[in-house]
Amino acid sequence: MSKLFEPFSIKEITLRNRIAVSPMCQYCSNDGLPNDWHLVHLGSRAVGGAGMVMVEATAVSPDGRISPADSGIYTDQHVEPFTKITKFLKEHGAVAGIQIAHAGRKASVRKPWEGDDSIDAGQDGWDTIAPSAIAFGGTIPKIPKEMTATDIKRVQTDFVDSARRALAAGFDFLELHFAHGYLASEFYSPLSNKRTDKYGGSFDNRIRFLLETFKAVREVWPERFPLTARVSVTDWIEGGVTIEESIELTRLLKDAGLDMLDVSHGFVLPDVSAIPWGPGMMLPYAERIRKEAEIPTTTSWMITEPQQAEDAVANGQVDVVMLGRELLRDPYWPFHAAKSLGAGAAEDLLPVQYARAVTK
């Protein structure tokens, strides 16, 4: 019996299997609004059988977008187009998830296929903010403004308002993006946070922005729905965030109502040579956090093969696998994986319009 294809219940929702679509930026929104591309892109993965489909990193404010073409959920006008998407995802058996985010000092850059580099304010770009006035470097030399206490409060309120809108749009799984060197991750990492106030210095101070933001969102996000966070659990660099710190952070977030940790890594500095690229590279970290913080986990990163995903769940490394690029290559990966693992009636994952035809 396949573990990958066992349903997974968390709070009051149930994923039909343990396969989730990792949030992947599409860089094709106008003023943050999702459009037909998002409906087809996300809808295809629901039709392909994923248990959950998570919308890309979606900005909580215009200055929190990575690029001018990022999706956002920063006005009430964003709710209706997202509603169209959540309705379709649910109609096709997937849980509708969304990741909300602020890009901090890595905001205001060109789309990856146009250079991924800083765009100046006034040229379709904007001034950026961060815990400290230190540039990311590499292709993003722009120096951000150090956030004041008022800026911090404003962004936290933006997260709360965005969570309310996500709920109104019909999402029933919310993830806070605390990873990849974006704003929250910049507060967490001593490599990007050089503050001397209560938001910088000690571990307790560096995690203050994350914990406060999480708690504020939990107050408006219903208890019946899961609230998760994606955390870069290691920076891979001496003097950066460590896995031991991240286990402690996870425990504190869990006490505040975290339902699952999405385990990720790095990207707080450019060109880090120590990243151990390889299949399932984050699975041992997800396993350790799952055991030591006693919380469900998920992770992405080079999970591509059905048996690999099956083993990750069966061996207790994660509760859910997230696939990114592999689900771009093959939106029907869950269907194909069910067939190759001999996991019951794979056709049940497909909509009736397809199932009757492919079984003939």
Residue window 215-234: x/- pattern of binding to ligand NDP, with contact defined by CB under 6 A = --------------------
- Of 24, 268, 246, the closest CA to residue 130 belongs to 268
Applying CB under 6 A, among 16, 18, 23, 306 the residue interacting with ligand NDP is 23
- Please, which residue, 199 or 301, has the CB nearer to ligand NDP? 301
* Least separation in angstroms between CB 242 and ligand NDP: 20
- Please, which residue, 63 or 262, has the CB nearer to ligand NDP? 262
Radius of gyration of the chain (CA): 19
Enter the tokens of residue 36: 């037909």
* Least separation in angstroms between CB 24 and ligand NDP: 4
- Enumerate residues 325-354 that contact ligand NDP by CB under 6 A: 325
Residue window 279-318: x/- pattern of binding to ligand NDP, with contact defined by CB under 6 A = ---------------------xxxx---------------
Q: How many residues bind ligand NDP (CB under 6 A)?
A: 13
The residues, any chain, with a CB within 8 Å of residue 177's CB and separated by 6 or more, are 23, 57, 99, 100, 101, 102, 184, 229, 230
Neighbours of 190 (CB within 10 A): 18
* Least separation in angstroms between CB 22 and ligand NDP: 3
Which amino acid appears at position 74 of this protein? Y
**CA dist 217 → 23, 73, 214, 261 (Å):** 19, 14, 5, 16
The residues, any chain, with a CB within 8 Å of residue 179's CB and separated by 6 or more, are 185, 230, 231, 232, 262, 264, 265, 267
Sort residue 23 into left (φ over 0), alpha (ψ -120 to 50) or beta. beta
Which amino acid appears at position 238 of this protein? E
Of 74, 182, 285, 332, which residue is the catalytic one?
Answer: 182
* Least separation in angstroms between CB 74 and ligand NDP: 19
- Enumerate residues 263-282 that contact ligand NDP by CB under 6 A: 264, 277
* Least separation in angstroms between CB 307 and ligand NDP: 16
Q: Does residue number 22 form part of the binding site for ligand NDP (CB under 6 A)?
A: yes
Neighbours of 344 (CB within 10 A): 12
- Please, which residue, 26 or 242, has the CB nearer to ligand NDP? 26
* Least separation in angstroms between CB 10 and ligand NDP: 19
- Contacting range for ligand NDP; rule: CB under 6 A; set: 19-27, 30-38, 162-170, 339-347: 19-27
Q: Are 230 and 297 in contact (CB under 8 A)?
A: no
Question: Which residue's Cβ has the minimum distance to ligand NDP?
Answer: 324
Catalytic, 182? Answer yes
Burial class (CB in 10 A: 0-12, 13-18, 19+), 355: middle
- Please, which residue, 153 or 325, has the CB nearer to ligand NDP? 325
- Please, which residue, 193 or 232, has the CB nearer to ligand NDP? 232
- Contacting range for ligand NDP; rule: CB under 6 A; set: 100-108, 158-166, 322-330, 348-356: 322-330
- Please, which residue, 73 or 152, has the CB nearer to ligand NDP? 73
Q: Does residue number 113 form part of the binding site for ligand NDP (CB under 6 A)?
A: no
Q: Does residue number 25 form part of the binding site for ligand NDP (CB under 6 A)?
A: yes
Give the active site residues.
182
Write out the residues near ligand NDP by the rule CB under 6 A. Answer: 22-25, 264, 277, 300-303, 323-325
